[in-house]
Structure 1
Amino acid sequence: MGTICGGVCSCRSHWDVPGAAARVLLATAIGHVLPTVSRTAKSLNLDVSTAPHLVDVVDPKGGRGIDRLFQRLARDLTAAELEAVRVATDPPEDGEARTAALLTAPSLAVELARRGVTVEVGVLAEAEFWSAYQPIVRLADRSVVAHEALLRGFVDGREVGGGDLFFVAESAGWLARLDRIGRESAITGAAPWLGGDDLFINVNPTSIYRAQVCLASTEQVAHASGLAPEQFVFEVVESHAIADRGHLVSVLEHYRSLGWRVALDDVGAGYSSLSLLAAVRPEVVKLDKGLVQGLPDEGARTVLKAVTDLAHELGAVVVAEGIETEELAEQVAELGADLGQGWLFGRPVRPERPPEEEDSRFQPVHPVPLSRPAGVSPAPSR
């Protein structure tokens, strides 16, 4: 049995998923398909033997080689070709029994569906993931106090941003798995160099079904990192929060029980921003980038001022996103924003890149712990 969230979450309804196979027979009368299968299998270092209309593939290491072959074939063959190939996994040794197994075997398209493999899943399964980090500064003195982790992937020879990755993951049923990868990549990538700064990590609450179970591996990674719990700030986008407010609050309370903090992102973009702030009571409020960049428009000023004032009344720190000019930085500071994020202060970069390739503004200068505005008490625990 397996789960669509990759074995981490046992609280979602289970799907019957075949286990890993050590050997697979693929048969078809279409002449050009089997050479493609054979070449792909050999490129994965699998043992391949052929006969008329048949390819016999064995994983000599007994690992996940057959799974990787299925993922590649999901991408390399057309839908019609997948339907035309019969596949028997771990077939019997006896010749007659093996022939019978092939005659009753499902098509490759059906086998891939049983295993939850789609073209998108195949792409994600072979992707290399990492986190880039963008600095967040205190507007009063421009000192770096935090970094936001942004998931990136290297797919089919090109770098893909987090938005595209999560779009593909959601359509392929991999959202929970990719969300977990994003959380844990953010922590492990930052641990060696973060120091006393805070780490902002994006999360999608719809990928968490039962927090105590689904976040177990993230808790382990966070503990192993050696970072203090209060350094973690988990960001939730306002549009995700609106979908199921009760579920969101329960998930966020679990975060807080671990000593982590919560940020509400893109605030001001939705119609229910103010009521949502009062319900969630986040420790950090991130102002919507579109509204920030709408300054000095009077309507944008009015909304941003109202959100900032309420956030401070609730004991939250306010971060203005999308700051690309000094003028914008000055305007949001006048409206009461405490921290700023945007290209003016640094673009997202990979920490392992050589220093000469990085924006010097990314480098932490006199790290200052993230704190609430002076004289404002913390939001009460819910």
Structure 2
Amino acid sequence: MPGAATRVLLATSIGHVLPTVARTAAALDLDVSSSPHLVDVLDPRGGRGIDRLFQRLARELTAAELEAVRVATDPPTDGTARTARLLTAPSLAVELARRGVTVEVGVLAEAEFWSAYQPIVRLSDRSVVAHEALLRGLVDGREVGGGDLFFVAESAGWLARLDRIGRESAIEGALSWIGDHDLFINFNPTSIYRAQVCLASTEQAAHASGLAPHQFVFEVVESHAIADRGHLVTVLEHYRSLGWRVALDDVGSGYSSLSLLAAVRPEVVKLDKGLVQGLPDEGARTVLKAVTDLAHQLGAVVVAEGIETEQLAEEVATLGADLGQGWLFGRPVRPARPVERQDGGFQAVGVTRSR
């Protein structure tokens, strides 16, 4: 990928395009000078502004307009040499492709991220014992859920970066109020290539948090676990070597649940929400009872997700579930005071509240 540029020339004979380029650059606090058919943009702060400009233009201009603009990064100052550079310069579409910039990447690069937290309660007395962190983002002024964010990130090739942002945002946002409760953090094993390297910043955030290692519960959904079981086990072994615990989510939704439980041996098993909400159907009850019994035999704690009524809470407790999660006990909420940090183009927003 090309390095960060501090200056860029954009040229086109299409009259309406360059004013759009100039306005976009000025909105990013870049130095802009214009002449007929040419915009000269300088980043006085060293290059990141040019990257942001490209990300914005990927969204502002149509595919045809991107093809019609020629772009020369860090051009020579000599007039003749500069003209020669422009004559052989690639289109903006080609430059964006070289940099891996797509509309989706541009959206993610400018989004704000934070974690919302949903309580997990002990079914026997309804006391809160844990919280699951759920990533949220503000994209073009609207709130977007984690599922949509990760779908876009995967298609744009930024899954590993967003997954890391989600893990670290979960930790930072819980620091001032989580106390001795457990913190459940989602992760996708395909975003982790080598655990010792890819999880280094997450380890640092966890260590700096002051929370006890056993309070961290990293959870993976069953469908992701099935994709490469050997790789998953390697990642989970690394988690456990740090004193963290492991949860298997959406258990019961796939045909391989029981064998997967035996292979992964998670400390926490989260029952699939669809099956829980299928109660009191006899088929759902049979599957959930079998999963719950095996989980307990393996020494795992069982969490029933998707509990929205007292009847469901009673049903899953009868089947042996230890903990419950769902709208009956509380919806995901964003604690009140945002604390922002900049992280390589992402704005990850940690959040805090008093207990």
Q: Please confirm whether the aligned pair reaches a TM-score higher than 0.5, indicating the same fold.
A: yes
Aligned to 1:198: 182
Partner SS for 1:149:
strand
Cα distance between partner residues in 2 of 1:238 and 1:61 = 45
For residue 319 of structure 2, the aligned residue among 329, 335, 345 is 335
Cα distance between partner residues in 2 of 1:220 and 1:97 = 48
Cα distance between partner residues in 2 of 1:313 and 1:172 = 42
Identity over the aligned pairs, expressed in percent? 89
Aligned to 2:348: none
Q: CA deviation at 1:52?
A: 1.1
For residue 122 of structure 1, the aligned residue among 103, 106, 121 is 106
Could you state the TM-score of these two structures normalised by the residue count of structure 2? Answer: 0.95
Corresponding position: 1:230 with 2:206: no
Amino acid at match of 2:227: A
Cα distance between partner residues in 1 of 2:242 and 2:47 = 36
For residue 311 of structure 1, the aligned residue among 295, 301, 308 is 295
Runs of 4+ in 1 over 6 A off after TM superposition: none
Corresponding position: 1:72 with 2:53: no
Cα distance between partner residues in 2 of 1:204 and 1:231 = 19
Listed one character per residue, the Cα deviations across residues 237-276 of structure 1 (whole Å, up to 9, x for unaligned) are 0000001000000010000001000000000000000000
Listed one character per residue, the Cα deviations across residues 104-123 of structure 1 (whole Å, up to 9, x for unaligned) are 11110111111111000000
Q: CA RMSD in A?
A: 1.3
Aligned to 2:76: 92
Cα distance between partner residues in 1 of 2:311 and 2:147 = 28
Q: Contact 2:71 / 2:90 at 8 angstroms: preserved in 1?
A: yes
Cα distance between partner residues in 1 of 2:76 and 2:176 = 50
Question: Relative to total residues, which structure has the larger strand share, 1 or 2?
Answer: 2
Cα distance between partner residues in 2 of 1:131 and 1:47 = 35
Cα distance between partner residues in 1 of 2:63 and 2:47 = 27
Q: CA deviation at 1:19?
A: 1.0
Q: CA deviation at 1:61?
A: 1.7
For residue 44 of structure 2, the aligned residue among 54, 60, 69 is 60
For residue 268 of structure 1, the aligned residue among 252, 268, 291 is 252
Q: CA deviation at 1:363?
A: 9.6
Corresponding position: 1:110 with 2:94: yes
Q: CA deviation at 1:353?
A: 6.3
Could you state the TM-score of these two structures normalised by the residue count of structure 1? Answer: 0.88
Listed one character per residue, the Cα deviations across residues 56-99 of structure 1 (whole Å, up to 9, x for unaligned) are 00011224110110000000000110011000000011111111
1:63–1:192 distance in 2 versus 1, CA, 3 Å: farther
Q: How many residues are treated as equivalent by the alignment?
A: 341
Aligned to 1:289: 273
Aligned to 2:144: 160
For residue 150 of structure 1, the aligned residue among 112, 119, 134 is 134
Q: CA deviation at 1:352?
A: 1.5
Aligned to 2:346: none
Structure 2 unmatched runs, 5+: 339-352
Q: Contact 2:292 / 2:320 at 8 angstroms: preserved in 1?
A: yes
Q: CA deviation at 1:213?
A: 0.6
Amino acid at match of 1:255: Y
